[in-house]
Amino acid sequence: MGDARASEAAALIWQNWRNRSRIDGLPQSCRPETVADGYAAQAQLAALSGWQQVGWKIAATSVAGQKHIGVDGPLAGRLLDGKLYHDGATLPAAHLHMAVVEAEFVFRLASDLPARGRDYTPQDVVDATAALHIGIEVPDSRFEDFTIVGAPQLIADNACTEYFVLGPALPVTWRDMDLAAHPAYLTINGKVAAEGIGANVLGDPRIALAWLANDRITHGTPLLAGEIITTGTCIVPVAIAPGDQVMADFGALGRVTVHFTD
């Protein structure tokens, strides 16, 4: 794509992210045409933000998530510390364009996952994991109609990233659990709004983590020790509004909450 075009794309997206405004699409002068172009612009966006990268998110790991943003496969985005919050956070919602929440499994890595000449398996990445968390993602887009702009532009837009709410580390017994079969519920103001299972995340959250490890090597940014990786929604994204109290309930694995204001 070229550094100048990537920088131009990133500057336009950053301007709209900062101003809480939206555009129809990036101009032809800097519109990414390939996934690699999108990631080049995404890297420039992260640098422009001034926030530190603390990990990665995987968007569109479920059929519902793919339909929601109009793509046919997963996308990776950077988790940035300026948009990372913890259980019980209160966040503004009036500016949200997507205005949905998602319930997700989150892995914290204990070791780097560098290129090694063969793909990482789900067991490999679990062995490299320090802890499992649960979380709530609040995605958003700087595009007016994010369902039609395509994967390269969505990747440039940091794979539809806004807020992420991280829950506490879970007991080590998660390693012996069937995460694919594990249920997740999303409640809004005390009422169940959606339910799903870990299998909605590429068949298993551990499969999603392995996909990201291999994908990041392909794009020259291997996963690193200490990073947190949120693997995508277990449920159909649920609409929220200012004033809502949201809880992602993973049963025996715990709960994480967030409250939305104007």
Between CA 141 and CA 22 the distance in angstroms is 8
Identify which of 110, 55, 107 has the alpha carbon closest to the alpha carbon of residue 80.
Answer: 55
**What homologous superfamily does CATH list for 52-261?**
Fumarylacetoacetase-like, C-terminal domain (3.90.850.10)
Q: Tell me: the pLDDT tens digits for 60-88?
A: 997 777 887 889 899 999 999 999 999 99
Q: What is the pLDDT of residue 1?
A: 66
Could you state, in order of their start, the residue ranges of all structural domains in the chain? 52-261
Q: What is the pTM of this model?
A: 0.96
Q: Tell me: the pLDDT tens digits for 1-20?
A: 679 999 999 999 999 999 99
